[in-house]
Structures are given as C-alpha cells and as structure tokens.
C-alpha cells in the first residue's frame, strides 16, 4: 500500500478536503454577494410606488447605493436660470438633449434637486418652466461620472449630469443625486431611463475581492495537500515491526 494512503494519514487528507471545500464555498458566497449588490443597484423600480424624497435622503447625505432608480415624490419650486442641457441623449433613435432643471425642494433646507424634465432635439426648442410650485414623481439616480470634459463652461450644455458641473449653475446646495421625471414635463419627450449610468465598477467591490481571496486560499491549501501527498508517495510503506522477542534456547 502506498504510504500516502496509509490509515495513519487519513486525518490529514480529510482536513485538507474540508479546508479546500470550505474556501471554495466561501469564495462562491462572496461572489454571489457581489452580484447581488450590483443587481440591487440597477433594480427595476418602474412599478414601485414613489416615496417622499426626504424619506430616502437628506440634503447633506451621501447617495444611498440601494436606492438607484427608486421612484421618489418631491415638491418645490423651479429655480429660474438654472436649466442645463445634457447632450448625447437619444429618443427613438434621434440624438438630442435632456432638459435638466433645478428644483428647490420643499422642506430641503434650501437645497435643490436637479430634475430631468424630458428630452428635446435642441436647447432652443425646450420650453422654460415657470417659477412656481410643482409636485412630481421621478426616478432617483446618482450623478454620472463618465469623465467626459465640458469644452465650454460658459454655456448651458453639459456632457453629463455631474454634480461638479451642476453646482456652477445654481447658488443652492445640491442633493447628491438627480431625478428623472416619470412623466415628461412641459411638452417635452420622455427621457429614456436606460441611458442613465449603470452600476458602478466599485459596487460590491469588497465582496468581489474577498471572493478572490478565498479562492487563492483554497488553491494554496490544495497545493500544500498535493505536495504533502507527493512526499508521502515517495516514501516506501513501512512494514509493522516484529515486537516478539526470540525465546532463548536451553542447552
């Protein structure tokens, strides 16, 4: 019998199997958690009833990752002169712009939320909203970050809905996110929600790295097991020693 299969080593083999299997299972679990985080960030909330914006986020709060796309209800007053137009947005295959206007949120301590009112083929054709109280439902989204640069900071055309660009067009503090109106406003065409940024590459990154770490640990344990078994295989099986003592003869 090879030495590696000797019963005296069965405990070591069993321990190695348990460690490798456990590391693999934990790695799969972490990757499943990573995927769940990403799916939650891009969950479809199209049929979900809107909740008040201030129940989801406060004026100074960071964007809650689990609320991407969550329908919110918000009331306030449009801020004159703050409308911007985000280029590169399509509607029925036609290139155009999003008309994005800041709304001073009622009860928001003077903070404003930029709202995509709808799509327009050109900024000149987009109607200007009246500076009066409104109440609307919108899909709540994190501001975009495609690293696109604004070639002309003096106009109202932007390459993306990014807080760093938006704050230059209003005096109010901004919520850490923006809204996309569920129904287009002021005669604009609907803004297509699938053109909003997808899940961030950093979403659930910790779970992903933990998963890779567990797989590396399992591979290392399997390698040590293989080396140990190989060394045992090189050694000949030891025969049990004869412990009986010869009986002295009587002369």
Q: Are residues 90 and 158 in the same domain?
A: yes
End residue of a domain, out of 195, 220, 245:
195
User: How many domains is the chain built from?
Assistant: 2
Domain that holds residue 145: 52-195
Q: Can you give the pLDDT at residue 38?
A: 63
Alpha helices in the chain (DSSP H): 10-41, 53-56, 163-166, 205-234
**60 and 174 housed in the same domain:** yes
The angle at the Cα of 82, spanning 164 to 166, to the nearest 5 degrees, equals: 5
60-98 per-position pLDDT tens digit: 899 887 788 889 999 999 999 999 999 999 999 899 999
Residues 121 and 148 in one domain: yes
Tell me: do 126 and 187 sit in the same domain. yes
pLDDT bin (cut points 50, 70, 90) of residue 152 is confident
Do 18 and 77 fall within a single domain?
Answer: no
Q: What is the pLDDT of residues 178-237, one digit of tens each?
A: 999 999 999 999 998 765 545 555 556 788 888 899 899 889 988 888 887 877 777 655
243 in any annotated domain: no
C-alpha span between 86 and 169 (Å, rounded) = 13
**46: in domain:** no
Position 141 pLDDT exceeds 80: yes
pLDDT band, very low/low/confident/very high, at 172 (cuts 50, 70, 90): very high
Residues 90 and 175 occupy one common structural domain = yes
User: For 10-14, 108-112, 144-148, which range has the lowest pLDDT when averaged over its residues?
Assistant: 144-148
Tell whether 89 is covered by a domain.
Answer: yes
**250 assigned to some structural domain:** no
In which band, very low, low, confident or very high, does the pLDDT at 2 lie, cut at 50, 70 and 90? low
Verify that 67 and 86 share a domain, yes or no. Answer: yes
């Amino acid at each position: 019998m090879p030495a590696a299969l000797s019963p005296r080593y069965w405990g070591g083999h069993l321990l190695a199997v348990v460690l490798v299997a456990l590391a693999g299972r934990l790695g799969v679990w972490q990757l499943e958690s990573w995927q769940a985080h990403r799916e939650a960030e891009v969950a479809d909330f199209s049929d979900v009833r809107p909740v008040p914006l201030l129940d989801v986020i406060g004026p100074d709060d960071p964007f809650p990752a689990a609320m991407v796309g969550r329908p919110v209800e918000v009331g306030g007053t449009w801020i004159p002169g703050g409308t911007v137009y985000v280029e590169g947005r399509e509607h029925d295959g036609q290139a155009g712009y999003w008309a994005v206007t800041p709304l001073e949120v009622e009860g928001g301590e003077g903070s404003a939320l930029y709202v995509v009112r709808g799509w327009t083929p050109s900024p000149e054709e987009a109607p200007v909203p009246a500076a009066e109280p409104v109440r609307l439902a919108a899909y709540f989204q994190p501001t975009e970050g495609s690293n696109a640069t604004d070639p002309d900071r003096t106009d109202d055309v932007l390459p993306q809905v990014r807080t760093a660009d938006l704050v230059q067009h209003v005096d109010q503090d901004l919520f850490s996110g923006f809204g996309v109106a569920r129904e287009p406003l002021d005669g604009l065409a609907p803004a297509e929600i699938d053109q909003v940024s997808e899940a961030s590459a950093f979403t659930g990154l910790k779970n992903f790295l933990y998963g890779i770490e567990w797989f590396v640990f399992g591979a290392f344990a399997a390698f040590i097991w293989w080396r140990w078994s190989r060394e045992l295989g090189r050694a000949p099986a030891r025969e049990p020693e004869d412990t009986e003592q010869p009986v002295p003869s009587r002369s």
